């Protein structure tokens, strides 16, 4: 055991090159900035796509509402209120049956995804801007 201590005790440890720590930190900063850029691009793409889904879903929802007769049933509230109240259970079921649930779910899902992706986009953009000022 002493032979190893004597052998390796006399060896000088190699010195790291000058500026190695700065280069490592600069490399880490560059990779973090690249990842932030990729996240910002992904969130912006997701936000744009979700806006397109919301617009297409809204147009489809309006088309489905017109085709299903939902607007005609709903107009009965204003045209013949007493008949609507007298037959409210049947009226409510007619409204529920004619409402296009899938189209409404697509619109609401698109809105929720748009809000989520916009929040991520704002968050990552603020992190990127904060890093540039440091």
pLDDT reading at 2 higher than 70: no
- Write down the domain spans for the chain: 18-133
Supply the pTM of this predicted model. 0.75
pLDDT for 69-79, tens place per residue?
999 999 999 99
pLDDT for 32-69, tens place per residue?
999 999 999 999 999 999 999 999 999 999 999 999 99
How far, in Å, CA of 18 to CA of 100, rounded?
A: 69
Q: In sequence order, what are the residues at sequence separation of 6 or more whose Cβ sits closer than 8 angstroms to the Cβ of residue 73?
A: 91, 94, 95, 98
């Amino acid at each position: 055991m002493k032979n190893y201590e004597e052998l390796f005790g006399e060896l000088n440890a190699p010195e790291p090159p000058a500026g190695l720590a700065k280069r490592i930190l600069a490399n880490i900063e560059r990779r973090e900035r690249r990842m932030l850029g990729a996240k910002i691009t992904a969130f912006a793409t997701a936000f744009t796509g979700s806006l397109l889904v919301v617009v297409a879903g809204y147009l489809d929802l309006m088309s489905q509402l017109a085709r299903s007769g939902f607007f005609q049933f709903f107009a009965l509230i204003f045209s013949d209120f007493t008949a609507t109240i007298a037959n409210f259970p049947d009226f409510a079921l007619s409204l529920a049956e004619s409402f296009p649930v899938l189209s409404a779910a697509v619109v609401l899902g698109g809105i929720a995804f748009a809000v989520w992706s916009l929040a991520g986009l704002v968050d990552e953009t603020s992190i990127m801007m904060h890093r540039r000022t440091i």
